[in-house]
Chain A
Amino acid sequence: MLDYLKSPVQTFQDFLVLTGRSVRNLTRPPIYWRDVLMQMDSIGVGSLPIVALIGAFSGIVMTLQMSRALSTYGATSQTGQVVSISIIRELGPVLTALLVAGRNASGIASELGSMKVTEQIDAMRALGTDPIQKLVVPRLMATAFMQPLLTAIADFVGLIGGLLIAVSVIGNTANQYWTSAIDVLELNDMVQGLLKPFVFAIVISLVGCFYGMRTSGGTQGVGLATTKAVVVASVWVFVLDVLVTQIFVSLQ
Chain B
Amino acid sequence: MAEPILEYSNVGLSFDDKRVLSGVSFSVLPGDTYILLGAAGSGKTLLLKLAISLLQCDEGSIRLLGRDITRLRESEMFDLRAEVGILFQEGGLFDSLTIAENVGYPLRNQKNSNTNEDQIEARVKASLDFVELGHTLDKFPSELSGGMRRRVGIARASVTNPKLSLYDSPTAGLDPITAHTIMSLIVKEREIRHTTTVLVTHRYQDGAMMANYRWDKNRNTVYRAAPWGEYANLRTTFLVMNEGRNVFRGTQQELEACRDPYVSQFVLRQPAPKPGAELYQGYLPA
Is A14 on the interface with B (CB-CB < 8 A)?
no
Tell whether A120 pairs with B93 under 8 Å between CB atoms, given A128-B82, A128-B110. yes
Whether B81 and A128, one on each chain, are in contact in the complex, defined by CB atoms closer than 8 angstroms, is yes
Whether A126 and B86, one on each chain, are in contact in the complex, defined by CB atoms closer than 8 angstroms, is yes
Q: How far is the CB of B164 from chain A (nearest CB, A)?
A: 12
List 24 A–B pairs whose Cβ atoms lie within 8 Å, in order of A's numbering. A114-B95, A118-B91, A118-B93, A119-B89, A120-B93, A120-B95, A122-B49, A122-B88, A122-B92, A123-B88, A125-B54, A125-B81, A126-B52, A126-B54, A126-B81, A126-B92, A127-B81, A127-B109, A128-B78, A128-B81, A128-B82, A128-B106, A128-B110, A129-B109
**CA A17 to CA B109, docked complex, whole Å:** 25
Which residues of chain B have C-beta atoms less than 8 A from A123's C-beta? Answer: 86, 88, 92-94
Q: Report the nearest B residue to A38, measured CB to CB.
A: B96
Q: Report the nearest B residue to A132, measured CB to CB.
A: B74
Q: Which of B52, B74, B90, B156 has the most CB of A within 10 A?
A: B90
Q: Report the nearest A residue to B75, measured CB to CB.
A: A130
Is B259 on the interface with A (CB-CB < 8 A)?
no
Is B219 on the interface with A (CB-CB < 8 A)?
no
| Secondary structure of the A contact surface, majority rule | helix
Whether A120 and B94, one on each chain, are in contact in the complex, defined by CB atoms closer than 8 angstroms, is yes
Whether A119 and B74, one on each chain, are in contact in the complex, defined by CB atoms closer than 8 angstroms, is no
Which residues of chain B have C-beta atoms less than 8 A from A127's C-beta? Answer: 81, 105-106, 109-110, 156
Is B111 on the interface with A (CB-CB < 8 A)?
yes
Is A87 on the interface with B (CB-CB < 8 A)?
no
**CA A127 to CA B94, docked complex, whole Å:** 11
Contacting B at CB under 8 A, from A3-42, are none
Is A117 on the interface with B (CB-CB < 8 A)?
yes
Contacting B at CB under 8 A, from A57-94, are none
Counting contact residues on chain B (CB < 8 A from A), the size range is: 20 to 34
Whether A118 and B109, one on each chain, are in contact in the complex, defined by CB atoms closer than 8 angstroms, is no
Which residues of chain A have C-beta atoms less than 8 A from B89's C-beta? Answer: 119
Q: How far is the CB of B78 from chain A (nearest CB, A)?
A: 6
Which residues of chain A have C-beta atoms less than 8 A from B95's C-beta? Answer: 114-115, 118, 120
Contacting B at CB under 8 A, from A105-149, are 114-115, 117-120, 122-123, 125-130
**CA A127 to CA B77, docked complex, whole Å:** 11
Set B52, B74, B86, B90: member contacting A130, Cβ < 8 A: B74
With A119-B92, A123-B92, A128-B111 known, 6 other A-B pairs at CB within 8 A are A118-B90, A118-B92, A119-B89, A122-B49, A126-B54, A127-B156
Contacting A at CB under 8 A, from B84-126, are 84, 86, 88-95, 105-106, 109-111
Which residues of chain B have C-beta atoms less than 8 A from A126's C-beta? Answer: 52, 54, 81, 84, 86, 92
Q: How far is the CB of B114 from chain A (nearest CB, A)?
A: 13
Which residues of chain A have C-beta atoms less than 8 A from B106's C-beta? Answer: 127-128
Whether B109 and A128, one on each chain, are in contact in the complex, defined by CB atoms closer than 8 angstroms, is yes
Q: Which of A122, A128, A129 has the most CB of B within 10 A?
A: A128
**CA A123 to CA B95, docked complex, whole Å:** 12
Q: Which 6 A-B pairs have the closest CB atoms?
A: A123-B92, A128-B110, A128-B109, A119-B92, A119-B88, A127-B106
Q: Report the nearest A residue to B79, measured CB to CB.
A: A128
Q: Report the nearest B residue to A21, measured CB to CB.
A: B74
**CA A126 to CA B82, docked complex, whole Å:** 8
Q: Which of A115, A117, A120, A123 has the most CB of B within 10 A?
A: A123
